[in-house]
């Protein structure tokens, strides 16, 4: 049982490049989400999904795309990287039943756009 | 989702109880109170959650006032490893499943 796995752990991109941040969970969680955290700031929700084939926008969705073709995977795509997207990205998952325990977070991807 | 208010920072001596307050005066009847913490550079860690009854687990206790407008997270015997940012979050039951983080309370445990 690996929990939430994020890859890569570190990445440097040039402005305008595209890339995909991977997130996978093996807990059969219905809900998955992506957050970004800028230095000294709290976490901000980018996109989330309540099940395969369903995605929705969070607080700061611009510049990012997501898809959820399977329950296990929720990749985050940066279409054309900008320096403003330099941040630490966290993926999280949980069951949809609110009475169950809270979100499980991955260890993060540290992205630098130069 | 209801908004929460937390102090920016707190200090606590090692071995003493750390009491972290949270105000959520606009909470509605079907919203849970969740607590997470984030130790430097790591992903947030779930601590505890509750609806209206007090809750306790191996990490902490959660005390929710009768009117549910505020709560307190209690770490009964704080250690240096408990130094972290603690987030109090109110989570809606309906429609969306967003978990919106505020700026949290930075707890510093000192020897």
The string of pLDDT tens digits covering residues B3-19 is 899 999 999 999 999 99
- Distance, in Å, from the CA atom of A60 to the CA atom of A35, rounded to the nearest integer, reads 9
Query: Taking 90 as the threshold, does the pLDDT of residue A101 lie above it?
Result: no
Taking CB atoms and an 8 Å cutoff, what residues of chain A touch B49? 101-102
Is B23 within 8 Å of B7 (Cβ atoms)? Answer: no
> Rounded to the nearest 5°, which phi and psi values hold at A108?
100, 155
Q: Do A42 and B87 lie within an 8 Å CB cutoff?
A: yes
Q: In the predicted model, what is the mean pLDDT of chain A?
A: 92
| pLDDT computed for residue B97 by the predictor | 60
Pairing of strands B61-64, B70-75: antiparallel
By Cβ distance, the residue of B36, B43, B103 closest to A102 is B36
- Distance, in Å, from the CA atom of B38 to the CA atom of B60, rounded to the nearest integer, reads 15
| pLDDT computed for residue A49 by the predictor | 93
> CA B108, B98, A100: angle at the middle one, nearest 5?
80
| pLDDT computed for residue B2 by the predictor | 62
- Distance, in Å, from the CA atom of B70 to the CA atom of B2, rounded to the nearest integer, reads 12
The runs of H, that is alpha helices, within chain A are: none
Chain B closest-CA separation from residue A27 CA (Å): 16
Pairing of strands A54-57, A64-66: unpaired
Q: Which residues pair with A33 in a beta bridge?
A: A48, A92
pLDDT digits (tens, 9 = 90+) for A45-95: 999 998 999 999 998 999 999 999 999 999 999 999 999 999 999 999 988
Band of residue A96 on the pLDDT scale cut at 50, 70, 90:
confident
| pLDDT computed for residue B95 by the predictor | 46
| pLDDT computed for residue B99 by the predictor | 73
Residue in the block written with tokens 């130094």: B83
Query: Taking 80 as the threshold, does the pLDDT of residue B53 lie above it?
Result: yes
By Cβ distance, the residue of A43, A98, A104 closest to B32 is A98
B2: which 2 tokens? 């209801």
- Distance, in Å, from the CA atom of B84 to the CA atom of B105, rounded to the nearest integer, reads 8
pLDDT digits (tens, 9 = 90+) for A10-27: 999 999 999 999 999 999
3-state secondary structure of B82: helix
Query: Taking 60 as the threshold, does the pLDDT of residue B96 lie above it?
Result: no
């Amino acid at each position: 049982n690996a929990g939430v796995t994020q890859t890569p752990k570190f990445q440097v991109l040039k402005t305008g490049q595209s890339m995909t941040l991977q997130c996978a969970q093996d807990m059969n969680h219905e809900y998955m989400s992506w957050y970004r955290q800028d230095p000294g700031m709290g976490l901000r929700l980018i996109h989330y999904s309540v099940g395969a084939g369903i995605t929705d926008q969070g607080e700061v969705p611009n510049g990012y795309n997501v898809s959820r073709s399977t329950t296990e995977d929720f990749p985050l795509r940066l279409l054309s990287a900008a320096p403003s997207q330099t941040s630490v990205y966290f993926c999280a998952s949980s069951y949809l039943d609110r009475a169950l325990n809270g979100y499980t977070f991955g260890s993060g991807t540290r992205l630098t756009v130069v | 989702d209801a908004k929460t208010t937390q102090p920016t920072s707190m200090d606590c001596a090692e071995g003493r109880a750390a009491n972290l307050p949270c105000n959520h005066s606009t909470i509605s009847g079907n919203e849970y109170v969740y607590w997470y913490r984030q130790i430097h550079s790591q992903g947030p860690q779930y601590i505890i959650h509750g609806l209206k009854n007090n809750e306790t687990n191996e990490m902490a206790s959660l005390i929710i006032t009768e009117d549910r407008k505020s709560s307190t997270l209690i770490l009964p015997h704080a250690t240096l490893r408990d130094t972290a940012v603690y987030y109090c979050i109110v989570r809606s039951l309906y429609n969306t499943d967003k978990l919106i983080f505020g700026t949290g309370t930075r707890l510093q445990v000192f020897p």
